[in-house]
Amino acid sequence: MAPVAAPVAHDSSPELDVHLEAFASAVGAEPYLRRHPALPLGFYVDVPQQQNALLQDQQANTATTLPLDLQQSYGKPHLYHGWWLLMQLSGLLAEGNEGDLRGDILSVLPADALWRLAAEMGVDEMERIFTDITGPKPDFIFALDWLTTADHPMRVPLMNLLAAIRTSRGGHD
């Protein structure tokens, strides 16, 4: 019997895929981008693995991990805001604070998805992720700065992504 293709997300499109990947790359979130048809736009961003944020603590000669919100000074100036923007756009977050992940979507993610594993471990693990790994959910006012500052490096990637989302949802320019 031939394998059955995974269903395509309702609002997914080739144009959206191109701009999604371009934006994730621009902000440095491409290692965390995952495709899954259960989400409204066919993607989510997984929990950043801490080894991707390792910095050497020269005094103690041990590895120190930094949450996304503290990586701005270490060569990833847009990762924190970009990761959270992708998280919000993905549809994995329910209305409310960052700890409110949609249970209906978590339950259909792959068994090895880090969000699903964390949710199964309970609220303490989810709080640890948001405290120690991602940093708190930002106020999204930064997106206005990105969109309205003519020479901001994230302006064009974000505008293209938002336009592709609008088009995939049946909107018009």
Look up the pTM and report it: 0.81
d(CA 80, CA 84): 6
d(CA 33, CA 41): 12
pLDDT value at 137 more than 90: no
The arithmetic mean of pLDDT across residues 87-116, rounded, is 82
Q: Give the pLDDT confidence of 71-80 residue by residue, as tens digits.
A: 665 778 999 9
| 8 Å CB contact between 101 and 107 | no
Residue 59 dihedral angles phi and psi, to the nearest 5°: -70, -45
Q: Give the pLDDT confidence of 3-32 residue by residue, as tens digits.
A: 333 444 456 788 999 999 999 999 999 999
Domain-embedded: residue 6: no
User: Cα–chain-centroid distance for residue 127?
Assistant: 17
Domain range for 104: 14-168
Q: What is the pLDDT of residue 165?
A: 94
Domain-embedded: residue 127: yes
Amino acid identity, position 143: A
The count of domains in the chain is 1
Q: Give the pLDDT confidence of 34-62 residue by residue, as tens digits.
A: 999 888 899 999 988 753 333 333 333 33
Domain-embedded: residue 62: yes
Domain-embedded: residue 3: no
